[in-house]
Amino acid sequence: GAVLELRNVSRSFEDAGGTLTVLQGVNLSLMPGQVTALVGPSGAGKSTLLHIAGLLEAPTGGEVLFQGQDCGDASDWERTLIRRDGIGFVYQFHHLLPEFSALENVMMPQLIAGLSRREAKERARQLLNLVGLEERETHRPAKLSGGEQQRVAIVRSIANVPAVLLADEPTGNLDPHTAEEVFRQLRRIISATRIAALIATHNHELARAMDRVVELRDGTLHEIK
């Protein structure tokens, strides 16, 4: 079954000009090992949808279910635990910690989750190997190329093997060739780990290479592949 499910989700914002409805009647199920691309023009609500799916903000209406549990019924603390252990995030800009090496950056979430330094280091090494960065372990982010930084951010986001990966324009600041390469590796990791992934992107060509494509248009979600 679905790992993460949005049921009839709506989101609107109140401002001086009235009510802005960004999402309306959105239904979406994310399945293990499946990569869903989320497309739509700038301002269509992709980030808003990802924030709701990631339990970072509440929908105005509808439900968000994580492994069958209605997150609207959960306490703030329970939602924090679901986010920490169940959901990985990748952003357009990598948010790596500048003072730490690539290896330490990937170890960090595992240390926070309670793994020993030794275990965390071993897994971080395996993950960096997986994306061809074994030679870059000791480098700080500033010493890595944009594509390398983004690969570190991706393996960091899945270091704790979350059930769900949410990515907001993960290759948005990369050149087309590097973007394609990062996407390819992301895809490989996802099928190997059976993570359910939702990836917002402007790049329709990359989107079409995903298992499934959904598009936000006028606040509603359309299945286009």
Q: Footprint of ligand ADP on residues 61-120 (CB under 6 A)?
A: 64, 71-72, 79
Instruction: State the number of binding residues for ligand ADP (CB under 6 A).
Output: 18
Is 150 a binding residue for ligand ADP by CB under 6 A? The answer is: no
In the set 8, 21, 25, 43, which binds ligand ADP (CB under 6 A)? 43
Comparison of 45 and 141: residue with beta carbon closer to ligand ADP: 45
CA separation for the pair 112, 224 (Å, rounded): 39
CB of residue 165 vs ligand ADP: minimum separation in angstroms?
Answer: 17
User: Measuring CA to CA, which residue among 56, 52, 25, 50 is closest to residue 37?
Assistant: 50
Q: Least distance in Å: CB of 47 to ligand ADP?
A: 3
Contact call for residue 201 and ligand ADP (CB under 6 A): no
The nearest distance, CB 168 to ligand ADP, in angstroms, is: 7
Task: Check binding of 219 to ligand ADP (CB under 6 A).
Answer: no
Query: For ligand ADP, which residue of 26, 44, 90, 115 counts as binding (CB under 6 A)?
Result: 44
Residue 13 half-sphere exposure, CB side, CA atoms within 13 Å? 9
Q: Does 176 sit near ligand ADP (CB under 6 A)?
A: no
E strand or H helix at 52: helix 46-53
Instruction: Give Dmax over CA atoms of the chain in angstroms.
Output: 55
Residue closer to ligand ADP, measured from CB, 45 or 170: 45
- Measured between alpha carbons, how far is 146 from 6 in angstroms, rounded to an integer? 33
User: Considering only CA atoms, which of 142, 212, 209, 214 is closest in space to residue 181?
Assistant: 209
Among 36, 48, 92, 160, binds ligand ADP (CB under 6 A): 48
Residue among 22 and 213 whose Cβ is closer to ligand ADP: 22
Out of 58, 97, 113, 192, the residue judged to bind ligand ADP by CB under 6 A = 58
Residue range at the interface with ligand ADP (CB under 6 A); choices 25-33, 46-54, 86-94, 124-132: 46-54
**CA–CA distance, 56 with 38 (Å, rounded to integer):** 18
Q: How long is the chain?
A: 225
What are the φ and ψ backbone dihedral angles of 88, each rounded to 5 degrees?
Answer: -105, 145
Residues near 142 by beta carbon (within 8 Å), at least 6 away in sequence: 98
**Minimum distance of ligand ADP from residue 119's CB (angstroms):** 31
Q: DSSP string of 76-113?
A: HHHHHHHHHHHEEEE-SS----TTS-HHHHHHHHHHHT
Binding region for ligand ADP (CB under 6 A): 13, 20, 22, 40, 42-48, 55, 57-58, 64, 71-72, 79
